[in-house]
Amino acid sequence: MPALEIDANSQASPPSPPPRQPSPEPTRRNSFIARSVSRSLSWGGASPSVEKLEMRAKRIFSAKLNELQDPLMEEDHVLRTPLQNALIALEETFLVARLTVALYSYLGLGTRWTGKLLRLILYATLLLPGFIQMAVFYFFSPRVTRSVMYGTAARNRLDIYRPPADQQPPDKGFPVVIYLTGGAWTIGYKAWGSLLGRRLSKHGVIVYCLDYRNFPQGTMLDMLRDCNTGIRWVLHHAAQNGGDASRMYLVGQSCGAQLAALALITQAEQEHQKAQLPGGFPAWSPRRIRAMVGVSGVYNCFDLADHFNRRGLYRRLFDRIMSVNGRAALKLFSPTYCVKGVEWGASLPRVVLLHGTADTCALFNNATQFRDALREVGAKVELKQYEGETHTSPLIENPMRGGHDVLVDDILSVVSGGPLGSGGSPHQSPLCPGFLIDAAARVCPF
């Protein structure tokens, strides 16, 4: 498949070729861009501006970029027996395990990474009573539809969490949340969203939790491609599954928040420029998204690279994840840089950032930088700080304690269109003893 090339050092208007020996390369490049715009973005022959593409590459990356066309979406659901569902779940488990081994062999026996892995195992062991209850819900609840195909690439699967059967849907259907899980770009998996999916769906929201390729199965462009494919699939199928196509919300946590922000920003700029952009395939309309919520997000990879290196996500690995054609592209994949200097910031939907002040993984000032960058371009943005909360406590430890779920309440507030904290989610029963949660919080590697 040919590649879309954006060369920051090339000229916007190629010189005229000699009469008898025409130079085919500029013509071939421009004609491919035009065909791609017409085919993939359905803009009906809109003429792309190579100069605009080059300006964006200079603004964000200052280097040559390549992008391949995305695989086709799966259009129909496939009905499977319980045995087939179990075999698919087993296959996915083995795949994640195999990729984890490959990742560990890539890292070698570094003491920091080994220590993080051991702490992660201990963390999961301490919270096992809660995780077992979630596993029972995930595998046996009729409200969960697992591993629906949204595309043809590896791990192009999503889980659907539906409200209880006795809930009467609104006239246009239930509101829809598209959720992108975290996992440090290496250990993410759609089942990690089961706790949030269960809580939100219980309160009348349909939740689509997307899986996507992780490193070493893919780099950031592959992850973005998967997320764009999955988001477009949900936008296309939500109404068929009881969702309100006019009430769509994008939510991401950790690196999932980075992917959500990048996807939204790139689609908005792509729509404004009327031209394909790196990381914008396949295209979908950002106007279909009412709001984006980022939870403990990573928004400035360039500034956080050394911090991640000190914490065990070594620079050699991080650069490889954030690479294009073998070259690290940290600014290209940083939403804070991608939104700077744009003219269309006011066209973005409402952006809500939820971040713990005690987050030692994605530092809190990383969220304030993104908020400030959005404000500078006229975007509607709010940042709510969770005082004393860590990277994972709003998503895992606090909900397992029971009581009032602040994160769910804030997301429901966004879905209802009200101010943060007005969601009115009721108190929940605890899933795990408090002393185990306290111990797990102390050993959490994130």
**Residues with catalytic roles:** 254, 359, 391
What 3-state DSSP class applies to 418? coil
Residue 306 CA: distances (Å) to CA of 52, 84, 288, 309, 355: 32, 44, 36, 5, 20
Q: Determine the Cα–Cα distance for residues 12 and 20; give it in Å rounded to an integer.
A: 23
Rounded Cα gap, residues 245 and 252, in angstroms: 19
Residue 354, beta-bridge partner list? 295, 384
Residue 11 in contact with residue 5, Cβ under 8 Å?
no
Asked, as a colleague might, if the bond just before 282 is cis with ω within 30 of 0, I would say yes
Alpha-carbon gap, residue 360 to 354, rounded angstroms: 15
Contact at 8 Å (CB) between 420 and 352?
yes
> Distance (Å, rounded) from C-alpha 369 to C-alpha 384?
13
State the Cα–Cα distance between residues 294 and 247, nearest whole angstrom: 17
Burial classification of residue 244, based on how many CB atoms lie within 10 Å of its CB (0-12 exposed, 13-18 middle, 19 or more buried): middle
Q: What are phi and psi of 291, to 5 degrees?
A: -160, 155
Which among 66, 296, 113, 179 has a CA at the least distance from the CA of 304? 296
